[in-house]
Amino acid sequence: MVLVDAAHEDEPKRAPAFMLGRTLPRSLWRPLHLVGQAAWRAGVIPLLTSRPSLPDDSAMLTREQILDALRRQPKAIATGMNATAPESYDQAHAAGGLGDRPLMVLTRGKVASSPNARPTEMDRQFAAYEQVWMHEIQPQLARLSSRGRQVIVTTSGHRIPDEAPGAVLEAVREIVNAVRRPDDRD
């Protein structure tokens, strides 16, 4: 298994409140999710979102343009209105460990820096949580398996598949090889 800058079940307990993106009361999360899904199915989201301007010649498309266009698709926007996060965290907690299955946890190495010469309290909380994320939360994920390990991708921020796709490919190759040769343990 390869986890890429993955969420952890303790994230809602450890992250600063402003990072959780939950400004509405929890009782409204599911209704908002249902509204988002209904708006997508009814075709309302395409009416409310702008389309990226793309070159007519598909050979001229850059990778960034393709990713931006995919992120702006109505289905992607509707999926972002996710009300299942609390249940997902509970399910992850109940699942337990992975035994000795091969596991690699890729963690962003670039931390967001505050452009402000005088950081705000939110900037300080964010910076502190970045350290908790990298040095506590992500290593906890790696410990889900006796064969787990964390790799910090120093060339990437949170969007590792976009910023360092080679690291993801290498991790997948390594895990596939570990599965194919179960007796060749680290």
Bridge partners, residue 108, by sequence: 153
CA-CA distance, 59 to 138, in Å (whole number)?
Answer: 38
Burial 105-128 (b: 16+ CB within 10 A, else e): bbbbbbeeeeeeeeeeeeeebbee
Encoded tokens for 134: 């990298």
The answer to whether residue 185 is domain-embedded is no
Rg (CA), the chain: 19
Cβ atoms < 10 Å from Cβ of 164: 21
C-alpha angle 83-84-86 in degrees, rounded to nearest 5: 105
pLDDT of residue 2: 96
Per-residue pLDDT of the chain (186 residues), as tens digits, is 999 998 888 877 888 876 665 556 667 767 777 777 787 778 777 777 777 777 788 777 776 777 677 777 766 666 655 555 667 777 777 888 899 999 999 999 987 665 667 778 878 888 888 889 899 999 999 999 999 999 999 999 888 998 999 999 999 999 999 999 877 665
CA-CA distance, 54 to 71, in Å (whole number)?
Answer: 14
pLDDT of residue 108: 93
pLDDT in tens, 75-89: 666 665 555 566 777
Q: Are 34 and 152 in contact (CB under 8 A)?
A: no
- What total of structural domains would you count in the chain? 1
The amino acid present at 149, given as its one-letter code, is: R
CA-CA distance, 1 to 180, in Å (whole number)?
Answer: 13
CA-CA distance, 100 to 177, in Å (whole number)?
Answer: 15
CA-CA distance, 105 to 143, in Å (whole number)?
Answer: 10
The answer to whether residue 186 is domain-embedded is no
pLDDT of residue 107: 95
The amino acid present at 16, given as its one-letter code, is: P
3-state secondary structure of 2: strand
The answer to whether residue 29 is domain-embedded is yes
Cα-based torsion angle of the residue sequence 112, 115, 119, 122 in order, rounded to the nearest 10 degrees: -50
CA-CA distance, 118 to 115, in Å (whole number)?
Answer: 9
Residue 13 belongs to what domain range?
Answer: 2-180
List the 148-153 sheet strands across, edge first.
2-4, 103-108, 148-153
